[in-house]
Amino acid sequence: MHRRTTSTLLALGAGAALVWACAVNPVTGKSELSLVSESQEIDIGRQNAQSVAQSIGYYEDPAVQTYVTDVGRKMAVASERPQLPWEFHVVNDAAVNAFALPGGFIFVTRGLMTSITNEAELATVVGHEIGHVTNRHSVQQISRAQIAQIGLGVGSILNSTVAELGGVFGQGLGVLFLKYGRDAENEADLAGFRYALNQGYDVRQMINMFETIQAVSQLGGGGRVPQWLSTHPDPGDRITTTQARLDTLHKDLSNAMIRRDEYLQRINGMVYGEDPRQGFFRERAFLHPDLRFQLQFPDGWKTQNKADAVVGASPNQDAVIQLQLAGKVPPADAARRFLSQEGVQAGQGTTQPINGLPAVASYFTAQSQQGQVEGLVTFVSYGGNTYGILAYTGAGGLHTYDQAFRGTAGSFRELRDPAALNVKPARLELVKVDQAMTVAEFHRRYPSTVRIEEVALINGVDGPDATLTPGTAYKRVVGGMGNP
């Protein structure tokens, strides 16, 4: 959960009148049905990009942001749609992913940045996302009314009946991710290959990038946004297809740009993996060092720390508790706003403080598309922010979960544990090896706080027995929770 106040993600096309029209795809030259003008496309992308900034947040390193912008912009302005207001950002998330919003707003995660090994790989990833925009893939999906949205809120762990109420809370839960089919992915791969090649990059590195992403998926990863393979369905032959393009490429790549050293210097010291400063779980307690609060979830509940909410689901998946920032308004105003929403009926309320903090709580019922739900909503003021704790279940379930709901809401308090307040994230550190050695030897001599398989993966080599080249810099991971 980030310190930024969340904002509601606008539905695609909200507030804009869609007009039936035929358009020419700027990449393929084919005519296609389009319900979205270019200005509307940009509008949709810009509004959702603002929500990405607020709900996930950017990685706070201007040099890294400028670097990725420079790599992306030179490809974008040479693409078929140079007139778009292209923006490139690194978002502060551990997942290995990249995504594009309509109109030219491109995002890569720091998880992706720490997993790949050179600028050429980065260029093919960013070029792939540019390709989704230039091919108007999101516009095609909007026009066909086939938007696929992977929520970053309660929907990922709860059944739809209970999760559907999430919107009643009045805050946006999630980031827009468009899941494309085989044809769109192939078109984006081809575009990324071509854009990177035209800028002088060694496009053979695209295969390395795909292999790294596959390996990340096999090892499993963290993060609040989905992993790459969740939002970029793998057709199964992308590496083979890329190799076929290389085999028919009549161009000498011996002097093409890879820029490994330059890239590694840019990411040296970057936060690696989950950042506990954004909140972490210690058993059933959620602790947030930067915001200095803690909250206890019921025993046995499945919990997740999302970009804009902390959520817990009951073992039977029939109840949810979620914590979100509700702004800087007084608790009474926040409660009034929630309870005045259409379809929400207020029940018994209280203004009793919670652990000395101003608070307002009220039972409620609400009508969802699948039926009635009931629960307890609590707003607590602390540290200049008001936090909302929304707990709900299906009709008739409140008597089962009332004690759990009240217990979690009543556990909100100031975080005072020095160890939790001073927790630090893990970071990448570069080591230049002075002699040939295996990854296993490297791991013994320069220990990392992650598994040896992960060390091999982030260095782009094939396992612990792979040999590292003398005079070359390699990544290790140092520090993190419970480590110096």
Is 321 in contact with 169 (CB distance < 8 Å)? no
* pLDDT for the residue 359: 98
Q: For residue 208, give both structure tokens.
A: 């390395």
* pLDDT for the residue 27: 83
Q: For the ranges 133-142, 248-257, 450-459, which has the lowest average pLDDT?
A: 133-142
Per-residue pLDDT reduced to its tens digit, 22-72:
677 888 777 776 677 889 899 989 988 988 888 788 999 999 999 999 999
DSSP 293-352: EEEEPPTT-EEEE-SS-EEEE-TTSSEEEEEEE--SS-HHHHHHHHHTSTTEEEEEEE--
d(CA 339, CA 170): 11
Is 199 in contact with 78 (CB distance < 8 Å)? yes
Q: For the ranges 7-16, 17-26, 217-226, 398-407, which has the lowest average pLDDT?
A: 7-16
* Per-residue pLDDT at 153 exceeds 60: no
Is 74 in contact with 88 (CB distance < 8 Å)? no
Q: Which amino acid is at 202?
A: D
* Per-residue pLDDT at 444 exceeds 80: yes
Is 158 in contact with 389 (CB distance < 8 Å)? no
Per-residue pLDDT reduced to its tens digit, 316-331:
999 999 999 998 999 9
For the sheet containing 87-91, what is the strand order? 87-91, 105-109, 98-101
d(CA 28, CA 26): 6
* pLDDT for the residue 318: 93
* pLDDT for the residue 159: 39
d(CA 321, CA 298): 9
* pLDDT for the residue 164: 39
Q: What is the mean pLDDT of the chain?
A: 85
* pLDDT for the residue 257: 98
Q: For residue 446, give both structure tokens.
A: 């320069």
Mean pLDDT of 92-119: 94
Is 433 in contact with 440 (CB distance < 8 Å)? no
Mean pLDDT of 400-411: 97
Mean pLDDT of 185-192: 93
3-state helix, strand, coil in the chain (%, to 5): 35, 25, 40
Mean pLDDT of 388-416: 96
* Per-residue pLDDT at 163 exceeds 60: no
Is 242 in contact with 189 (CB distance < 8 Å)? yes
SS3 203: coil
* pLDDT for the residue 193: 97
Q: How far is CA 424 from CA 54, 115, 272, 438, 459, in A?
A: 23, 20, 11, 29, 23
* pLDDT for the residue 54: 80
Q: For the ranges 46-50, 120-124, 149-153, 277-281, which has the lowest average pLDDT?
A: 149-153
| Residue 294 phi, psi (nearest 5) | -140, 155
Picking from 3, 12, 188, the residue whose alpha carbon sits closest to that of residue 98 is 188
Q: How many residues does the chain have?
A: 484
Q: How far is CA 244 from CA 128, 132, 416, in A?
A: 17, 21, 58
* Per-residue pLDDT at 175 exceeds 60: no
* pLDDT for the residue 180: 75
* pLDDT for the residue 201: 98
Contacts of 156 (CB under 8 A, 6+ apart): 150, 304
Residue, of 228 and 10, whose pLDDT is higher: 228
Domains and CATH numbers, the chain: 21-272 (no CATH), 276-421 (3.40.1000.10), 426-479 (3.10.350)
Residue, of 21 and 439, whose pLDDT is higher: 439
d(CA 109, CA 111): 5
Cα 444 to its chain centre, rounded Å, is 33
Rg (CA), the chain: 24
Picking from 420, 403, 12, 61, the residue whose alpha carbon sits closest to that of residue 265 is 61
d(CA 22, CA 97): 32
Beta bridge partners of 288: 293
* Per-residue pLDDT at 11 exceeds 50: no
| Residue 155 phi, psi (nearest 5) | -60, -25
Is 191 in contact with 326 (CB distance < 8 Å)? no
Give the side-chain half-sphere CA count within 13 A for 317. Answer: 9
* Per-residue pLDDT at 334 exceeds 60: yes
* Per-residue pLDDT at 171 exceeds 70: no
Mean pLDDT of 464-473: 97
Q: Is the pTM of this model over 0.75?
A: yes
DSSP 393-432: EETT-HHHHHHHHHHHHHT-EE---HHHHT---EEEEEEE
Sign of the CA dihedral with 207 first, then 187, 64, and 50 last: negative
Is 347 in contact with 365 (CB distance < 8 Å)? yes
DSSP 284: T
Matching residue, tokens 């390193």: 61
Residue, of 320 and 223, whose pLDDT is higher: 320
Q: For residue 442, give both structure tokens.
A: 């490297």
Picking from 111, 118, 114, 113, the residue whose alpha carbon sits closest to that of residue 205 is 118
Share of the chain above pLDDT 90, in %: 66
d(CA 162, CA 458): 39
Mean pLDDT of 444-467: 95
| Residue 273 phi, psi (nearest 5) | 75, -165
Per-residue pLDDT reduced to its tens digit, 123-140:
999 999 999 999 998 877
